Structure 1
Amino acid sequence: MSVRRFVGANSRDVMRQVREALGDDALILANRRTEGGVEILAMADEAVDHFDPSPTPEPERAATPAFSAPTADPLQAMSERLLREMQDMRELLTRQQQATSASVAGDTSTRLRQLLARVGFSDELSSEVLAGLPDALITAADDSDQPLVWLREQLMARLPVLAQENSFFDQTGIVALVGPTGVGKTTTTAKLAARFVMRHGTRPVALVTTDSFRIGAHEQLRIYARLLDTPMYALDAEQPIDDLLGRLQGKQWVIIDTVGMSQRDQRVIEQIAHLQGGQSSVRLVLLLNAASQPETLEEVVLRYRQAARAAGAELDDCIITKQDEAGRLAPVLDIIMRHGMRVLFGSHGQQVPEDMAVANPAALIDQALSSQATSARQPAAASLSLPRWSRDVLGQGRRLSSVLTRLRQRVADFARLEAVWDIAALPSAVQDERLDRLLAGPSAADNILGMAWSPRRNERGCDWSMPDMGLDANGAWAALPYLQHRQPAGWQPRLAAQGDALGVAVHLLPALPDAEALAWLEAQHLTWVSLVPAGQRVYSQGARYAQRQLFIDSTLTHHISVRFRGQPMQLWSAYAEVTDAAGNALLAWYGEIRDPESAKRVARRYWVTPVRLGAEAVSLLATQLQGEGVTALTKRAWQQLKEADSGDISTEVRLLMASGAAAVAGHLDSADDDAALALRTDIMLLLGTQRKRRDTALLDGLIHAFMARDAIRQLGSVSREGVV
């Protein structure tokens, strides 16, 4: 169908003709008044894309005389031009939509979000996780496995679990399993009891049931107790556990199989209140059926935790049951992560005790992501959802927990740095004594390979000297520095003391030490590099030179990438063989720090190293350069803490807090592996704002993380044993 001409006595008449011929969606191309009335050119909307210019259309009514000359009709020409423009516009819009669709389909974030939705994770958790997707992965190729590796690590970091089985069973006390009917409490009671018996024998354990409603419940648990050769006691649901204490003398580990109740049953609060009502402390563990619908699981967690809070108790631990019956594991893991619970064990069958294992984040996440279920995910009921602000706080809390967990695993001595921050929360009168005790205790000595020694003077504008920084086996900064004034006087005693205490094999020196210290370093066959001034005197081919003179005409051809004062730079270097005044063979080094884009020189440095190190020493020079940024970060952190603590923190504690946070920030700023990239992203997301300088942003994010952790601890309970 092409363009059609309609002629009528007036506009109403001609529009009626158009509607009758082409329908209500007809496209009006042009109109004009003629001697006979009104003329309109129109066509059907669906014909626009197929329009091909055709001879002048005949009118619907013979109200216009034939054209006497072969000249083109101006109205017809205008209509064809409009149609061509409309076709071009539609084609352009179509191409843009196709390009956008292709872009969306190929976007890593979209692909990962689709995967998370397909296997059963919520939009809320997906948005929280993908907010930290590194820029480098957003445009990754479709066949790259790096985005999935990153996603797996992010999910694992958000899933707190029991670190070791012994840490659970070695804690004496009373454990009560709670949850709805049919979730598997009795079988799980038997599995836990069997595992305890395997470690500690039958004498210290006892089983208790409060289920007097379900037919055969007592008998089922009694059979398990008989097989395990452990005593079993029945407790009325309204009795406190104290009523059994006399009969439980000598029992170190008691596990209670409670009566199953719907999460909507108001008696849930009463049940938990009775468990907590006596003098004995009862640890609650919630059982979650992996095969339940997400809405049901959400409601179970909310209602049971509300009941626990109403009874003045905590309900932070859970056990996943019926994993073998679940089509998808992601929904239960999603709810556990969003509510900040800890998974102790996973149960996947009826055999006692074989079909239960300590929760393993890698295995659980792999099982969740491997599900290819395509059924539509139903959101939890709106009435059960937490307020938006509350969910945001939980999301931040999960990110904070994940960050701290990964820092403990990655950075040597990070746990001791956390302990220093704990000391800062104590009364000032006891801080120094607690710090003495902490520093005298064990450290991550096995992980400390080297030491970056700081100048023996106060920092400019400060009344403190920069602590010495430890290096782990990978050459990265350890989290807890070493205070200078707690070390022996003199270079050689200081070096020897750390060598004996930590086994330090690499020494990065801020100045050339005295002859005694150098002789000791060489006698011990230790690795060392020393920063020196440009005027340092050395001997080359029998002549004495200031070190700068050796490299006046040198061409610097070798370079490596470094992070210098928070910016990506390049270290260009050259070296020459020299001797010192005592005749020791050395290498004299000259280095220029240059901007990689402009090639402009930013700074220059001079070093000496033992000749035996050769060109391999350049990596140590780069490490020492990067340490200069840690000093600047320490000053920044010191000032922030001083303004925040109102003078309530001792000088030593504050200095360790500041330099430790700076060391961790420097560690992450200098690292280039994927795990460091993910950590940097999550730390800076804690701030909620974008920063230009990465090192200062990391420092501020870490201080924010520590302060948030301390605030949470002030309001809530501290972590239990063996959970990460």
Structure 2
Amino acid sequence: MGVMRFTGANSRDAMRQVREVLGDDALILANRPTDDGVEILAMADDAVGNLTSSPAPSSRVASSRSATAESGNETARTEPHSPAAPEANEESADLRSMSARLLSEMQDMRALLAREQSRRHPETDCAGRLRRILREAGFSHDFAQELVTGLPRELDKTAPDDERPLAWLQRQLASQLSVGTDEDAFFQAPGITALVGPTGVGKTTTTAKLAARYVERHGADRVALVTTDSFRIGAHEQLRIYAELLGIRMVALDPDQPVDSLATRLMGRRWVIIDTVGMSQRDQRIVEQIAQLQGGRVKVHMVLLLNAASQPETLNEVVQRYRAAATSANSRLDRCLVSKQDEACRLAPVLETIIRHNLTLSFVSHGQRVPEDLSLPDAASLAARALATRSPLTENAESAPARSPIAGRQLLGQGRRIALSLTRLRARVPGFNTLERAWDLSATSTVEQQDNLPSLLEPSSHTTPATGLLWAPRRAASRSDWRLPDLCVDAEGLPRLPVRLQHRQPAGDLERLKAALAHQANESSPFQLFPTLPGSTIRDELDGSSIQWLARAQPATRVIHQGESRSVSRLASLFDGCGHLDTRLRGKAVKASLAKLRVSLPPSKRDSAEACQYAHLWQATLYDEESGRQLGKRYWLSPSEETHSARPLLQAVLNSEGLEQLTREAMSTLTAWLPAGTRAELLLALAAGIAAVTLHLEHAGDEDAMDLRAELLELLGTRRRRRDTALLQALLQLFATREAIRHIQSSGDAQ
């Protein structure tokens, strides 16, 4: 099969013809625009082999002339300037030129074919697949790009059939959606609620649904309906029928009447709902309507109705115009209600509008039944339904270039993510609000810091007891003049707040231990973690209280094994393997291979030689999970011989290894950022507390921690650093941004 010509209305149509006739491996020789559309010259891939195996016509001519020259070589030698030689050279040059041009066009068209095929097939990387899912669900390109930017590193290289990325995407979408969660709180608060929105969104039916809920809770004699719709024929009658069915009073409010005029007509009605006249979002009378609602002494709570079946451009314009009208009336419009969910083919446009404009979704209406078809929104269900309703992208949608985000929208999204991250940190890390208060305290005078710092640093009756306590070394940190605080840990071995500054603890180790045990009195399995082997007095106290403990041992630490005193490093060949732990060290995933050996502790000077205490020596050999390279060994001593009992203690000490380095880095940054008058102990408490939160997020393995890590690293704007130090810098940036926002708010309030 030779070269074939294909003509189509556009390049896509012509390429479709090429694939139907010659297959996906066809070679494109040339393409050009014509009056009828696009013309493509192509040939089958197997035809190329035939061309290369058998000489082309031009080649045969050249060969024939070459043979003639050989047969008449005598003539060629005697007549070097015969006219045949220049002609052959010219034809050879033309052939080379044509071959080069043909090869260039073939390469260009191969690239065109590759691009065409890439548009027909889903993107292969995880972020690309998720963006495509969002686009197919109806979300805009900019929104999809923004949402997927925070994809956790753990999901970067997942297979296409892995369900975790889609689950993450649903959680991300749900977390961006602010929804009302307390129906009782909405209906219990007395006052006036006005439903506003364009024509045809279902305000009257929704008004009846809300009124029915009010009647169920408070009785018909305390609820009233108000209509301002004097334009639509029958509008009064429709609402009046609902009022009669519910047994409640209905009154009309003329456009020139203020809301305050209702006071004398609705005596004793503490729950009032206003059904406003529907207006196009482009109608200038919207400003007058909102001004009427907000012009009196009585506060009117407005709820904007959004039609789930509307186009995204329409929804965006509705929110902008109605919010602008509310602002001009010195009011706010922050709550919305989605109507006609049952009529919408897809939920993506309305959800994106709510998220983009930072609205709170109070209710969702999904039918005509009163009052049944009105429910509280469930963010997870809405996100799942939005992503489940997808359709293939059109050619225009696939090839449309991404628009640069508007600066204001970008800033709004950043502010929303910061607020969300702070909310999630407060919910996840008990005592995180203590860090926030400590940061705020740094801006006050030295006297105020001295007066208020103890209440922030000392555990109180309101503080959740820590399962474990990691004792810091009783010396200054390396290259520093401060001592690392003691660190609280939870039952899973994760660091938590508050940190305990050493100089604020009771004097003497025994007194400090008793204070710690008193705070852990209600814990079922408390434990103590020591940087070195504690003295016999401490060990006796712990054994008498049935408290688990673990102490760090150095390779040179001496123990007794089979009656002989030996250093722990000399006993490596005698350990018995007992499983492994997963942890992270210096920002990398690490596997710790565990082993144990029964030994005796050397007697103290006050004890007799027969008073040796049995213990177990634990060894962890650390391996880089990616390369398998050994990173070192760790040793500990503990009275426990059960692996399941020692596992959380071993996990806790491994998880906390980076505390000193992270605290030092945080101290350096905070010293430069915070006011010069910040007390040293406040600075240390902040630095160690932020370092503890960093380690908590670094080592937590649940989905919530994964999502929170991704959010924080997205705020930082880079993934090139070690994850632990990147998380620390992200938390520091979060605190600094929070302070900047508070300053902006206070400046606005002052004006």
String of CA shifts for 1:566-607, please: whole Å, max 9, x gaps.
Answer: 344454554321233354431123445565678776555432
The percentage of counterpart residues that share the same residue type is: 42
Q: Distance in 2 between matches of 1:421 and 1:140?
A: 39
Q: Distance in 1 between matches of 2:223 and 2:445?
A: 41
The answer to whether 1:292 aligns with 2:310 is yes
TM-score (norm 2): 0.76
Question: How far did 1:154 drift?
Answer: 1.7
| SS of corresponding position for 1:292 | coil
Question: How far did 1:189 drift?
Answer: 2.8
State whether residues 158 and 401 of structure 1, in contact with CA within 8 Å, keep that contact through their aligned partners in structure 2: no
State whether residues 138 and 390 of structure 2, in contact with CA within 8 Å, keep that contact through their aligned partners in structure 1: no
Q: Distance in 1 between matches of 2:725 and 2:700?
A: 15
The answer to whether 1:445 aligns with 2:464 is yes
Q: Distance in 2 between matches of 1:125 and 1:591?
A: 46
2:128 aligned partner: 110
State whether residues 211 and 217 of structure 1, in contact with CA within 8 Å, keep that contact through their aligned partners in structure 2: yes
String of CA shifts for 1:275-332, please: whole Å, max 9, x gaps.
Answer: 3334444433211111112111010111112222222222222111110111111111
Question: How far did 1:399 drift?
Answer: 3.0
1:326 aligned partner: 344
String of CA shifts for 1:169-224, please: whole Å, max 9, x gaps.
Answer: 34454433221222222332332343344445556655444434444444544444
- Residues 126 and 427 (structure 1 numbering): CA distance in 2 closer, same or farther, change over 3 Å? farther
The answer to whether 1:698 aligns with 2:730 is no
* Equivalent residue letter for 1:399: R
The answer to whether 1:658 aligns with 2:701 is no
1:498 aligned partner: 519
CA RMSD of aligned residues (A): 4.4
- Residues 688 and 289 (structure 1 numbering): CA distance in 2 closer, same or farther, change over 3 Å? same
Superposed, 1:147-226 pairs within 5 Å as 147-199=165-217, 201=219, 205-226=223-244
* Equivalent residue letter for 2:526: A
Q: Distance in 2 between matches of 1:677 and 1:243?
A: 55
State whether residues 243 and 249 of structure 2, in contact with CA within 8 Å, keep that contact through their aligned partners in structure 1: yes
2:708 aligned partner: 679
Q: Distance in 1 between matches of 2:577 and 2:395?
A: 61
Superposed, 1:20-31 pairs within 5 Å as none
String of CA shifts for 1:518-545, please: whole Å, max 9, x gaps.
Answer: 3443344343322245555544334445
| SS of corresponding position for 2:384 | helix
Is the deviation greater in 120-129 or in 233-242?
233-242
State whether residues 445 and 502 of structure 1, in contact with CA within 8 Å, keep that contact through their aligned partners in structure 2: no
| SS of corresponding position for 1:606 | strand
* Aligned residue among 566, 570, 579 for 2:587: 566
State whether residues 491 and 513 of structure 1, in contact with CA within 8 Å, keep that contact through their aligned partners in structure 2: no
Q: Distance in 2 between matches of 1:220 and 1:159?
A: 33
Superposed, 1:276-425 pairs within 5 Å as 276-373=294-391, 388-414=406-432, 417-418=435-436, 420-421=438-439
2:14 aligned partner: none
1:585 aligned partner: 614
The answer to whether 1:477 aligns with 2:495 is yes
TM-score (norm 1): 0.79
- Residues 2 and 265 (structure 1 numbering): CA distance in 2 closer, same or farther, change over 3 Å? closer
- Residues 377 and 257 (structure 1 numbering): CA distance in 2 closer, same or farther, change over 3 Å? farther
- Residues 526 and 397 (structure 1 numbering): CA distance in 2 closer, same or farther, change over 3 Å? same
* Equivalent residue letter for 2:200: G
- Residues 319 and 215 (structure 1 numbering): CA distance in 2 closer, same or farther, change over 3 Å? same
- Residues 565 and 312 (structure 1 numbering): CA distance in 2 closer, same or farther, change over 3 Å? same
Superposed, 1:517-528 pairs within 5 Å as 517-528=538-549
Question: How far did 1:398 drift?
Answer: 3.4
Is the deviation greater in 562-571 or in 50-59?
50-59
Q: Distance in 1 between matches of 2:515 and 2:425?
A: 29
* Equivalent residue letter for 1:126: A
1:606 aligned partner: 635
String of CA shifts for 1:98-150, please: whole Å, max 9, x gaps.
Answer: 66745864333333323222221011101101223345545433333233222
The answer to whether 1:126 aligns with 2:155 is no
- Residues 265 and 99 (structure 1 numbering): CA distance in 2 closer, same or farther, change over 3 Å? closer
State whether residues 193 and 272 of structure 2, in contact with CA within 8 Å, keep that contact through their aligned partners in structure 1: yes
Question: How far did 1:378 drift?
Answer: 10
Question: How far did 1:687 drift?
Answer: 1.8
How many residues of Structure 1 are paired with residues of Structure 2 in the alignment? 671
State whether residues 212 and 370 of structure 2, in contact with CA within 8 Å, keep that contact through their aligned partners in structure 1: yes
Q: Distance in 1 between matches of 2:496 and 2:157?
A: 33
Q: Distance in 2 between matches of 1:304 and 1:132?
A: 32
Question: How far did 1:624 drift?
Answer: 0.9
2:657 aligned partner: 628
State whether residues 327 and 373 of structure 1, in contact with CA within 8 Å, keep that contact through their aligned partners in structure 2: no
Is the deviation greater in 178-187 or in 238-247?
238-247
The answer to whether 1:640 aligns with 2:682 is no
Is the deviation greater in 625-634 or in 351-360?
625-634
| SS of corresponding position for 2:658 | helix
Q: Distance in 2 between matches of 1:98 and 1:2?
A: 19
State whether residues 225 and 250 of structure 2, in contact with CA within 8 Å, keep that contact through their aligned partners in structure 1: yes
Question: How far did 1:440 drift?
Answer: 7.1
| SS of corresponding position for 1:491 | helix
Q: Distance in 1 between matches of 2:191 and 2:442?
A: 32
Q: Distance in 2 between matches of 1:513 and 1:208?
A: 76
State whether residues 574 and 589 of structure 1, in contact with CA within 8 Å, keep that contact through their aligned partners in structure 2: yes
Q: Distance in 2 between matches of 1:59 and 1:584?
A: 99
- Residues 81 and 675 (structure 1 numbering): CA distance in 2 closer, same or farther, change over 3 Å? farther
Q: Distance in 1 between matches of 2:355 and 2:515?
A: 48
String of CA shifts for 1:229-285, please: whole Å, max 9, x gaps.
Answer: 555554444554444456667665544333332222223233333433344444332
Q: Distance in 2 between matches of 1:432 and 1:635?
A: 23
Q: Distance in 1 between matches of 2:707 and 2:700?
A: 11
